[in-house]
Amino acid sequence: MTSIDLHIPISEEQIRSLHVGDQVRLYGVVITARDAAHKYIEDTFMHASAIPDSEQAVHEELKRLWAGGVMYHCGPVVSRDAAGRWRFVSAGPTTSIREEPYEADVIHHFGLRAVIGKGGMGPKTLAACREYGAVYLHAVGGAATLIADSVQEVLTVFKKDELGVPEAFWVVRVDGFPAVVTMDAHGQSLHEKVFEASKQRLAELV
């Protein structure tokens, strides 16, 4: 199957043309975010009565970069050279279901078009994908070094000192990042289908 090239920022029209099973390659800026990053977003930007002045710059940058953009559930292993430049050594996907309580709100707030991870997400995120025009992309688990090779450059990092290296917002430029659409903007989820098929098969066996 031929891969579909997606250049970030991605339009809603492009996203709604995708269907589960489509193979894609991503080009452009992607930002990592895991558990602590999601909690930071909720506490600081969504549930606070006002965004603190000290956090305004981060919020504005995330809003700019994630408008039509892509989030990657990833806690990378990084290294730094003598000139101070960061590099991704390993960049495997994190299990995404842990972000299910947050993701629908995050997709809406920032205007995300795609979330990358592994294992799929639940009905709340699937509904948000349908309503706002987004997809869930399954990255290849166990290929962390291979995926890191598609990360061409670390542009910057937010909240590294506060959240730690794996939980920080790493802003990277990717070239040909491979993934598969497993939840689309039409309400279809391969993860849900596999779960239902497995449940039916188990019932037949017992």
- pLDDT digit string (tens) for 23-81? 999 999 999 999 999 999 999 998 878 999 999 999 999 999 999 999 999 999 999 99
Burial class (CB in 10 A: 0-12, 13-18, 19+), 134: buried
Is the backbone of residue 187 left (phi > 0), alpha (psi -120 to 50) or beta?
A: left
Q: Is 108 an annotated catalytic residue?
A: no
Q: Exactly one of 19, 38, 108, 191 is catalytic; which is it?
A: 38
Secondary-structure breakdown of the chain: helix, strand, coil percentages, each rounded to the nearest 5: 40, 30, 30
- Asked if 25 and 5 touch (Cβ cutoff 8 Å), the reply is yes
Is-contact 96 138, C-beta < 8 A?
no
Per DSSP, the three-state class of 30 is: strand
Sign of torsion over alpha carbons 167, 173, 174, 179: positive
Read off the pLDDT of each residue in 10-27 and give the average, rounded to a whole number. 97
Report how far residue 144's alpha carbon sits from residue 139's, in angstroms, rounded to the nearest whole number: 9
Q: In whole angstroms, what is the distance from residue 148 CA to residue 88 CA?
A: 6
Mean pLDDT of 189-206: 52
pLDDT of residue 194 exceeding 50:
no
Report the alpha-carbon distance of residue 125 to residue 102 in Å, rounded.
9
Burial of 182 (0-12, 13-18, 19+ CB in 10 A): buried
CATH no. for 4-205: 3.20.130.10
Cβ atoms within 10 A of the Cβ of 101, count? 14
In angstroms, rounded to a whole number, what is the distance separating the alpha carbons of residues 109 and 191? 25
56's CB contacts (< 8 A; 6+ apart) are none
Which residues are bridge partners to 5 per DSSP? 25
Instruction: Provide the 3-class DSSP secondary structure of residue 175.
Output: strand
Question: pTM of the full predicted structure?
Answer: 0.90
What digits encode the pLDDT tens for the residues 104-134?
999 999 999 999 999 999 999 999 999 999 9
